[in-house]
Amino acid sequence: MNVRARAGVVTVAAAAVVAVLAGCSDSGDTPDVPTIAPQTPIAAPVVEAGAPAGQVVPMPDAGGALAYCSSTEQVAVLSADGRSVQFRPTAALSTPTRTVGLSDKASGFGTFANGVLQVLIPHALLRVNSATGDVVRTDLPGTPLSAVLTSQGQTLVGNDLGQIAVVGADGGIEKTISGLVRVDALAEHNGQVVALDRAQSSVTQVDIGGDDLGVALRSGDGATNLTVDHFGRFLTTDTKGGEFLAFSGDPLVNKFRYPVAFGPYAVGYDDTHNLAWVATTGDNKVTAYELASGTPVQTRQFTTVGQADSMVVDPDSGTVYLLSARGEGLQVIDPDQQ
């Protein structure tokens, strides 16, 4: 019997506000607040639940991170050792068009747009051009954990010091906003910016213009990942507590908390079919939910490659891409397949 179908749904109008301290560029102090050990993905079972759905492209040396570029229709794949990036067109995924070596071990990716990929390495953000292989470096404090290219053309980079650096189009740092413990994920929609802090299991509004932090809300007991859909709903996974959550509005409010078993981790949204996708590593599944009713309704579920820690969704076709962190390849799922 499906655990998700049996579980009850908890819908709330708001959640408890997390006490965080807001600071500006000259502070850099970590707030004195209760913290938890940042949650990591639940280990996938050794015994598979069945053959992975869709197409699986062998990539034994990949598994570090995954990104998708709509304008060039290609994916970027980080090697398992974090030392190189492969660019692969979605029409011919089996062969990379370009491989770019990195100056240091990367921890992940930011936005991949207009053929340029943001790569996070210690003390710097790299912008890698997929067409030429050229790399532009911006030196930054701390270890970058997240990055996002905003609709205003700025790049926001979150680090392990709880700071958000605002980087202009020229690569220069315009300002730094402090006050979080860590900035593990960033998302932006029409100028509204939200940061996820795994150490506080919280989501926090960020006022870029005012150099300050806004409302902060708990996101379960062990939040890990964040995305935003075209309606402006910020969607998070609580891996430790087993929940899928949504936040929206200004100020931010919690719209629902939905129980999801087996360690929800990667999260994405299909703007074409209006489906939220959540990958659960504890059972090697990925599940699609409709959110039109205000609470998630499961519509599809597929078996994934083992340890699918990374997921991206093509917003135009709805195709779901999942990358195995243990070398089992890149999986491609058509959302309309049975």
Average pLDDT per run of 10 along the chain, which is 338 residues long?
32 39 44 90 81 96 95 97 98 96 97 98 98 97 97 96 95 95 98 98 96 96 98 98 98 98 98 97 97 96 97 96 97 88
Instruction: Answer whether 239's CB lies under 8 Å from 274's CB.
Output: no
Here the contacts of 8-12 (C-beta below 8 Å, separation 24 or greater) are 8/259, 9/256, 9/258, 9/259, 9/295, 9/296, 10/256, 10/257, 10/258, 10/259, 11/255, 11/256, 11/257, 11/294, 11/295, 12/254, 12/255, 12/256, 12/257
- Domain 3-333 of CATH type 2.130.10.10: yes
Helix (H, G, I), strand (E, B) or coil at 4: helix
Please count the other Cβ atoms lying within 10 Å of the Cβ belonging to residue 283: 17
- The domains of the chain are located at 3-333
Q: Could you tell me the pTM of the whole model?
A: 0.90
For position 250, what pLDDT does the model report? 95
What are the distances in angstroms from CA 327 to CA 74, 91, 107, 258? Answer: 20, 21, 17, 31
For position 143, what pLDDT does the model report? 96
Peptide bond into 315 cis (omega under 30): no
User: Greatest CA separation found in the chain?
Assistant: 55
For position 338, what pLDDT does the model report? 62
For position 109, what pLDDT does the model report? 98
Type of residue found at 181: V
For position 209, what pLDDT does the model report? 93
Type of residue found at 301: Q
For position 234, what pLDDT does the model report? 98
Distance CA 186, CA 221 (A): 19
Find the angle CA(83)-CA(236)-CA(165) to the nearest 5 degrees: 55
For position 47, what pLDDT does the model report? 63
For position 4, what pLDDT does the model report? 30
